[in-house]
Structure 1
Amino acid sequence: MHKKILLAYDGTEEGRVALLECADIAHLLRAETHLLAVMRVPSGVFLAEGFVPDTVMEDERQRIRETIDDGVALLREGGYSAYGHLACGEPVEEICRLAAELGVDLIVLGHRKQTSFASRWWKGSVGISLLERAPCSILVAVGT
């Protein structure tokens, strides 16, 4: 059964729904839980020289680190074994990389409903892409 769970976590409402689902599963199975936030390098902040200013990246890294720390703290307050991870890159690649590295049995992520087909096409879906590449089972938590 699931002994290690990886939660792709971003602190959004959908992410918090996934966190609660993950906590329920971790409680029932006494599973070790890992939260991962993936920081994308935003293409809009590249300068003419082709790099992102260090202060912009550091500010974003700090914001994401705080989000992960908050999620880990919530789980630990509930008595769960929880660890936080921060990666930089494409979400699907980083989720799969860490899942394989840790040997997780289950990946949990939230679902953000897209408002239109164009939005789904333009932004893509981490969940759908993850289905093709994940090294383990996936649970997609959907809020009400």
Structure 2
Amino acid sequence: MIDKVFIDTSFLKAVVDEKDDFYTDALRIWNRFREGNFQLLTSNFILDETLTLVRIRRGLHIIELFRKILAGKPAIEIERVALEDEENAWKWFMLPWKDLSFTDCISFALMKRLGLNRVATFDKHFRQAGFILF
């Protein structure tokens, strides 16, 4: 059986940034993904957010490593956010969590639509939203 896992920005950034506080944890999890039977998914919103964050904080040289990770084994499928996801994200966004990003809310809505409950992240909001952290 294939285990489906959503991949969040905090995890993706940590995998490619050795200066990230979660770098070691991210590599340990990434190696489990490589050795196991996982289907990894992320969104075009997460891809955009991660590319921007990595470029600003670490520079263009890290972007090549990031591209190799996306295309390597295990490959990460990029799911396009649907209008339905954007509409459903507003329900999450209006919750009184102070530092909740709209991108997180998009991810919650997309995960619900796809029937995903597991996520590779270091972001507490996914647990608060009822998802299982990998």
TM-score, normalised relative to structure 2: 0.49
Which structure has more helix as a fraction of its residues?
2
TM-score, normalised to structure 1's length?
0.47
Say which one has the larger Rg. Answer: 1
Structure ranking higher in strand proportion? 1
